[in-house]
Amino acid sequence: MASTQPDEITQSTPMEGVTSSSSSSTQPKGDTSQTQPDTTNATAASTSQEIPAASDQAVQPPMSKNALKRMRKQQEWEDGKDARRKMRKEKRQASRLRKREEKATLIAQGVDISTLNPRKPAPINVPVSIIFDCDFEQYMVSKEIISLGSQITRSYSENRTTRYRTQLWVSNWNGKLAERFRDVLDDKHNNWKGIDFIEGDFIECAEKAREKMKTDGGKMTEALQRSIDEKVPWVRDEKDPLPLPDPQPEPREEYKDIVYLSSDSPYTLDRLEPNTSYVIGGLVDKNREKGICYKRARQLGIRTARLPIGQYMVMQSRQVLATNHVVEIMLKWLEYENWGDAFLSVIPKRKGGQLRQQDGTEEQDDGNDDEEEEEPEERDGENEDVGEKTGPTPAN
């Protein structure tokens, strides 16, 4: 009994294996089909994972020479970021050292340093807001978006150092321009003072600006006070730069403190008003989208206006201004309270601008308007929708 029990145990183990294998082999065909899909499904799954990868590689078109060139330039730019940072630091240090040496030399000669570099007066905040409407990225290529970013940067720089400082706002801060400021420019705009970046639209910016101007608007200058005391009526020009078939809707009361600047507006801006937000369309598109800023504001029941360039300036080229030029002109008006002086101090000399005689003796032929409208040459970074179209009369 003792000798046979181990033999039975020894035999039982392999017999169980044989029995399980044989039982599986003797299953009906229907049962066999249930055991095989594990391998089939695994094979199908691995095949389905391999096919898209192979198809993606096959579908991807080869990169053009220009695309490869741009990629190499971008990589070179990224690789040289640390070297450029180091170079800028060395230049700043050398500049400081040179200024210290010059200052020491002048002091040794008995020169009063305070008379050579008088301090500029501190900027004065005023209750005027300027809003950049950046909701037009779908109409611009990458180069134009980069140009818009440079214009906003220059506008901030000018507003920071000007005599009278406005409140700056940037709306629709949630697209490619915001990505560029974050990824390429290292979020330096987060350290800027006196400017707010909002993900909402320009109306939301205007509402926030309205509240901010009530609580922390700044000083009411003489020029802005005269805009209240000598209020100029909002009169439509005789000539409509962009006639539309539907009637002009009345401005909405809740948006009465918003003015959208557009070259296609039938109204001319006479003075800047306090506690008002002026919207500039962030669109650099070489005038491909005709009147898009004006139509947007018109549809929303918002007042529109254009700068009075034709009233004050005689131009040898098209009256197309970059966004930062519009901001600078408005800042200069706050300082001079004169559009002619503001235009003359800001408009680039390459445009050949001259101050117009207010008696109308330098009027140009109206027949040149259409011809200049069709000129293809236009410098990068210029925006048709923020200035005024070419034309000698105030209606242009």
Q: Which residues are catalytic?
A: 285
| Strand-pair partners of 171 | 133
CA angle 263, 291, 168 (to 5 degrees): 60
Angstrom distance (rounded) from CA 351 to CA 353: 6
User: Exposed, middle or buried by CB within 10 Å (0-12, 13-18, 19+), for 153?
Assistant: middle
Cβ-based neighbours of 8, under 8 Å, separated by 6 or more: none
- Whether 126 contacts 334, CB under 8 Å: yes
Q: Which two tokens stand for residue 225?
A: 């006070």
Query: Tokens 């403190």, residue?
Result: 257
State how far the alpha carbon of 219 is from the alpha carbons of 11, 180, 272, in Å.
Answer: 104, 35, 14
Which amino acid belongs to residue 107?
I
Angstrom distance (rounded) from CA 385 to CA 320: 8
| Strand-pair partners of 259 | 278, 303
| Strand-pair partners of 131 | 169, 279
